[in-house]
Amino acid sequence: MTSPQSDLVVQATQLSKQFDTHDGILSLFSELNLRIHRGESVAIVGPSGSGKSTLLSLLAGLDSPSQGDVIIAGQSLSAMDDTERARLRSEHLSFIFQSFHLLPELSAMENVMLPLEIRGQQNAQQQAAHWLAQVGLSERQDHYPTTLSGGEQQRVAIARAFATEPTLLFADEPTGNLDQHTGEAIVEQLFSLNKKHQTTLILITHDSALADRCDRRLHLQSGQLHEQQPNGAVV
């Protein structure tokens, strides 16, 4: 039987982040705690400037906290150097961004293959073709990003993110650059794949409807995270 502790994918303990400014020290958040379990989908919401993207960067090991620690898949980020954190991201994490972040000189197939090749996976082309089929882009796999619509580019980004079979997937405003109809289709694909593969999903969004699709909704404001009910009540 799996213990609750071993089922933890992300644990942030006493996390603080401060910045030096001309007006003194700005404390974005202080002594923040967070526990996310395997297979959960968690939305982090809050007003602009509350620190959502900064928190994502800390949880992903892209930035370091002023105090506290983040543990991913049982491994402490504070105990790692930059090379070790990069290796952990390669082995366990994937990202989906608002602006897609596809390489324009690579085809859809090659964009999905890239992280697989970096990891030394022998069947990268076969796996990339499989994941592009999962998002309905088999017939567009040889096309370059500039010839794809915004929705198609985001589907390539989703295929690339899931192709490495990550333990943890971070999505930062994944529908922010898409119209409502396309955004809804992208959301359906994202949650369908997430449920099928039991990937842990951490989602940054301003979209209440998108946040409501997640298992948990956390509201970040005034440096603290609070569980938020679907009706907007904070507990």
| Each residue's pLDDT expressed in tens, for the chain with a length of 235 residues | 344 456 899 999 999 999 888 888 888 888 999 999 999 999 999 988 888 989 999 999 999 999 999 999 899 999 999 999 999 998 899 999 888 899 999 999 999 999 999 888 889 999 999 999 999 999 999 999 999 999 999 999 999 999 999 999 999 988 888 888 888 888 888 888 888 888 999 999 988 888 999 999 999 988 889 988 755 555 5
For tokens 């401060």, name the residue.
18
CA distances from 76 to 93, 156, 186 (A): 15, 31, 33
Chain-centre distance for alpha carbon 84: 19
* CATH number, residue 209: 3.40.50.300
- Smallest CA-to-CA distance from 155 within 172, 170, 174 is with 174
pLDDT of residue 93: 94
Res 50: pLDDT: 87
In a domain, 127, yes or no: yes
61 occurs within a structural domain: no
Number of H helices, E strands in the chain: 7, 10
Residue 154 lies inside a defined structural domain of this protein:
yes
Phi and psi angles of residue 121, each rounded to the nearest 5 degrees, phi first: -75, 130
Tokens 């009540």 correspond to what residue? 233
Cβ(94)–Cβ(129) below 8 Å: no
> CA–CA separation, 130 vs 122, rounded Å?
14
Q: Is the dihedral of CA 28, 34, 36, 40 positive or negative?
A: negative
Number of domains in the chain: 1
Would you say residue 30 lies in a domain? Answer: no
175 inside domain:
yes
| Of 142, 200, 208, nearest in space to 175 by CA | 208
Decide if 146 is inside a domain.
Answer: yes
According to DSSP H, which parts of the chain are helical?
Answer: 52-59, 82-92, 108-118, 124-134, 150-163, 180-197, 208-212
Whether 20 is covered by a domain: the verdict is no
Pairwise CA distance, residues 163 & 116, whole Å: 7
Q: Which domain holds residue 96?
A: 40-53+81-227
Residue 75, in any domain of the structure: no
Sign of CA pseudo-dihedral 124, 126, 129, 131: negative
Query: CA 39, CA 99: separation in Å to the nearest integer?
Result: 25
How many Cβ atoms are within 10 Å of 48's Cβ, its own excluded?
Answer: 7
Q: Secondary structure of the chain: what % helix, strand, coil (to 5)?
A: 35, 30, 35
For the four alpha carbons of 18, 19, 20 and 24, in that order, the dihedral sign comes to negative
Using CA atoms, how far residue 88 sits from 83, 123, 169, 172, in Å, is 9, 21, 13, 19
State the pTM of this model. Answer: 0.87
Whether the CB-CB separation of 34 and 12 falls below 8 Å is answered with: yes
